[in-house]
A and B are shown apart, each in its own frame.
Chain A
Amino acid sequence: MVATFTRPGWYRAALCTVLAAAFGVGLVVLLRSISGLPAFQSEQTGYPQVVVPLILAPLGFLLGIGCFDYWLRWGVGARTIPEDHSSHGAYSWKDYFKVNTDHKVIGVQYVVTSFVFFLIGGLIAMLIRAELAQPGTQIVGAGTFNGLFSTHAVLMIFVFIIPMFAGMANYVLPLMIGAPDMAFPRLNALSYWMLPLAGIMFLASFLAPGGAFDAGWTGYAPLSTGAPLGQSFFNIGVQFAGFSSIFTALNFLVTIITMRAPGMTFWRMPLLVWANLSTSLLVVAATPFISGAQFMVLLDRVLHTNFFQFGAGGDVISYQHIFWFYSHPAVYIMILPGFGIISEVISVHARKPIFGYRLMALALIGIVVLSYSVWAHHMFVAGMFSWLRVPMMLTTLLIAVPTGIKIFSWLGTLYFGKIHTKSTAMLFALAMIVTFTIGGISGVMLGMVPFDIHVSDTYFIVAHIHFVLFGGSVFTIFAGLYHWFPKMTGRMYDERLGRIHFWGTLIGTWGTFIPMHWVGMDGMPRRVADYAAQFGNWNLMISCFAFLLGAVQLIFVYNMIVSWRFGPKAPANPWGGKSIEWLVSSPPPVFNFDEIPRVVGGPYEYGIPGARHAIMPGEGAEIPVTRETVVGS
């Protein structure tokens, strides 16, 4: 009985969560009694007796589930068990519900968890569209509506797109560079387990008095500093999501820099690895700014400090500067890994080397550098320093150049390629190039100060963000999921259902988001539950397409679940890829390789006779020396 609660696992996690929450409440009551204050405080923003347990309970959970066991044993000088690999690899489905140090298990945990949040966020989007189908109030009131669109955005950004990319890279990246695992497997597990906690916290805010946080995903002060308790759930949840992505990024960087296979120079890395290298640089250096901003809001709310209190010397606009200094790089965090996926998919299915491979990598680095210099283009109408507008407009237009390089390189790769669309992944990749380009062009339009002033806070913004995030990021996610599904599960998915899902998604996306440009230009404001009657027909049409878009995702869910269980066995290399993850079995062995492979050439040398990317252990002797010298470099 005692052992049940001392072994790392769900029982101990439940116990530690409860104890940590109780400790938090006790601490608040104790400190407040010492200071002569009433034990509980339930003003609109305060609630320290809820906020402190909200911070401590997740830490208790992580402790209980076993994320810190090794480090604590190390820290107190106890004997640590040398690498017994007892928590590495999944041998039954139950292993996916434990702290596991295998990057492949963590990758699947990430992908499935973030997909669940995608479905929840999608359901919320359906509610939003149902409310907006007609002018006037349909199913939810204005207050609930604010909570719904805020939660929708936060779920999609912080616990779907960002961790979904982290999850796919977690699975594929160590295989691609010929590493047996990530650099810090235990840190990797910790990063994963913080993710569901963040998501649950965002959702739990619906239960808070006053409803879910409703200041938008941007949580601008002073709207957020005066909002009901739910806002604190957002402030704290973002910290967990943020730590999760910082630790993952750090892990990717160390893995890529120190654990590449022999012969894998930087210029032989697949572009997915380059993409995650640049994304991780962004995450490590930018994410602390949103942590900082949310800490400040939380302090203003609970301790009544004066960061954003105008009357006491605070600066309201400073919130937006600090927030966007993270959140503009964040939009690249949400698309660069997708660029990497598209490069892989396009090259494999067009059977051609990537056009301008080095420029593709340098364009990624260019985007990383430039993305730190564009943040204030979100603030043209905020009343910030007016001299900052034109410089920000120029850098915003400039960042379209490296992005354009990538688009044209994909087109160059497709040009005269032997394009196979037998895989749904390729369909999504091709659709992404078109859809993302439209979203990118409306982004350039929004970079122009006069135009931005005209359409600020209208549905044009909603259309733009969904064209780049749904038509861009989500399409790349689907491309990646279809592309690596055989590798991850060892099964093939149903291509026919994949096609239905693709065409439904494409028509749904365009039908939903293209008309939003027009109603936005005509002045329909975003983030409002009601609108002028003149937009009624357009919105009914948008809602219908949105429901189509939502419905076809169920086909994807069905396809993935049924194929995972009953699909035909996948070969090691169903698409004829050259990078290392295709040279191991599907799914890969528990420790990836018996011996580390040797890299002898670039990753995309399709159609070049005798070209090889990597030589797996045990096959080196079979390859004649002459062929290897042809391949060399």
Chain B
Amino acid sequence: MESASVPLPHGAGGHAAEHEHHGPPEANQSSRIDRQTLGILLFIISEVMLFGSFFASYFFLRVVVNPAAWPPHPFELPVGVAGMNTAILVSSSFTIHYALEGIRKGNKQAMKLGLALTWLLGLTFLFVQINEYVHLGFSIRTESFGTIFYSLTGLHGAHVFIGLTLLTAATIRAFRGHFDKEPEKHLGVEVPGIYWHFVDIMWIIVFATVYIL
């Protein structure tokens, strides 16, 4: 069940003898970083740039066009609610860290607890945000402000959803006992963990830009 704990394909030198196929040779590892971690880091660069395009639009609409009121009268952003939501998401970064520290030391209970908590906190964040959307009073068509507000927070919400999907898979496999102490046997938690930290940090930037700045 060794390969079950690795989310993405890897060299299978060890299996070559067991199969009638002549398998590929084990690739030479020419860097200290493993493929999955490097892959998710590069993907995060892409994601940052996607957010970058929407941030670019944000500053064009707010600074270059420079409308008379931002947000337009009479709307206001619920900074308090969003701030509380920020606290929820930030704390989920600590719980995923707790889970990772747990499995690195071989503590599977800590990993399960951490993953489950992270998952619940992420879900709470999404629910609070949807609730906020319902009560804001303006829509995505309310001038350029409504457009870019819903686009940026919605884009982030979509990323929370992707992160939650990855975490769901990791949690299922954690409860099935598929992860272990060795680094290559818990990549399935490490990689979603890195992505979750990205989602979290990106929210702090979105929150600071949209709600506070």
Interface residues of chain A, those whose CB is within 8 Å of chain B, are 70-71, 74-77, 79-80, 82-85, 101, 178-181, 183-187, 246, 250-251, 253-254, 257-262, 264, 284-289, 291-293, 296, 299, 303-307, 309, 312-315, 317-318, 321-322, 325, 590-596
Contacts and interface: CB of A to CB of B under 8 A. Distances in A.
B1 interface: yes
B213 interface: no
Given A77-B169, A183-B35, A262-B28, A289 B64 contact: no
B169 A254 contact: no
Interface in B165-209: 165, 168-169, 172-173, 175-176, 178, 188
B42 A250 contact: yes
A303 B141 contact: yes
Given A180-B25, A304-B141, A83 B169 contact: no
A591 B25 contact: yes
19 contacts: A70-B9, A74-B173, A75-B168, A85-B19, A85-B23, A180-B24, A250-B42, A260-B30, A288-B47, A288-B50, A306-B146, A307-B61, A309-B144, A312-B144, A313-B143, A314-B144, A318-B57, A325-B53, A595-B25
Contact of A246 (B4, B19, B46, B61): B46
B9 A285 contact: no
B109 interface: no
A476 to B, nearest CB: 26
Q: Which 8 A-B pairs have the closest CB atoms?
A: A292-B53, A313-B144, A83-B12, A318-B60, A180-B24, A288-B50, A591-B24, A75-B169
A315 B61 contact: yes
B46 A258 contact: no
Given A184-B8, A288-B50, A307 B144 contact: yes
Contacts of A304: 141
A84 B19 contact: yes
Interface of B: 1-4, 7-9, 11-12, 15, 19, 21-31, 33-35, 38-39, 42-43, 45-47, 49-50, 52-54, 56-57, 60-61, 64-65, 67, 140-141, 143-148, 150-151, 165, 168-169, 172-173, 175-176, 178, 188
Given A250-B42, A591-B24, A596-B28, A80 B4 contact: yes
B140 A305 contact: yes
Nearest to A294: B53
B interface: dominant SS: helix
B35 A285 contact: no
B169 A74 contact: yes
Given A79-B4, A596-B25, A305 B35 contact: no
B143 A77 contact: no
A351 B130 CA distance: 66
Contacts of B15: 82-83
A293 B27 contact: no
A258 B144 CA distance: 45
B65 A591 contact: no
B164 to A, nearest CB: 12
A76 B176 CA distance: 10
Given A260-B30, A315-B61, 8 more contacts: A74-B169, A179-B27, A246-B43, A262-B28, A284-B42, A288-B50, A307-B61, A317-B60
A318 B178 contact: no
Contacts of B143: 306, 312-313
B10 to A, nearest CB: 8
B46 A83 contact: no
Contacts of A84: 19, 21
B144 A306 contact: yes
Contacts of A183: 35, 39
B17 to A, nearest CB: 12
B24 A289 contact: no
Nearest to B50: A288
A593 B147 CA distance: 54
Contacts of A595: 25
Contacts of A292: 50, 52-54, 56-57
B169 A250 contact: no
B16 to A, nearest CB: 9
Contacts, number: 201
Nearest to A180: B24
Contacts of B60: 315, 317-318, 321
Contacts of A305: 140-141, 146-147, 150-151
A76 B172 CA distance: 7
A80 B3 contact: yes
Contacts of B11: 180
Most-contacted residue by chain B among A83, A180, A264, A592 (CB, 10 A): A83
Contact of B46 (A70, A184, A250, A254): A250
Given A85-B21, A260-B30, A306-B141, A74 B7 contact: yes
A296 B25 contact: no
A77 B173 contact: yes
Nearest to B49: A288
A303 B54 contact: no
B146 to A, nearest CB: 8
A260 B30 CA distance: 6
A257 B31 contact: yes
A250 B12 contact: no
Nearest to A384: B64
Contacts of A251: 39
Contacts of A246: 43, 46
B56 A593 contact: no
Contacts of B25: 180, 591-596
A314 B141 CA distance: 11
Contacts of A288: 46-47, 49-50, 52-53
Contact of B38 (A70, A257, A289): A257
A321 B3 CA distance: 45
Nearest to A260: B30
Nearest to B64: A315
A610 to B, nearest CB: 25
B31 to A, nearest CB: 4
A253 B9 contact: no
A70 B169 CA distance: 13
B45 to A, nearest CB: 6
A250 B28 contact: no
A594 B24 CA distance: 7
Nearest to B172: A77
B39 A254 contact: yes
A99 to B, nearest CB: 13
Contacts of B23: 83, 85, 591
Nearest to B150: A305
B2 to A, nearest CB: 7
Nearest to A314: B144
A251 B42 CA distance: 9
Most-contacted residue by chain B among A71, A289, A315 (CB, 10 A): A315
Most-contacted residue by chain A among B31, B39, B64, B148 (CB, 10 A): B39
A325 B52 CA distance: 11
B147 A186 contact: no
B24 to A, nearest CB: 4
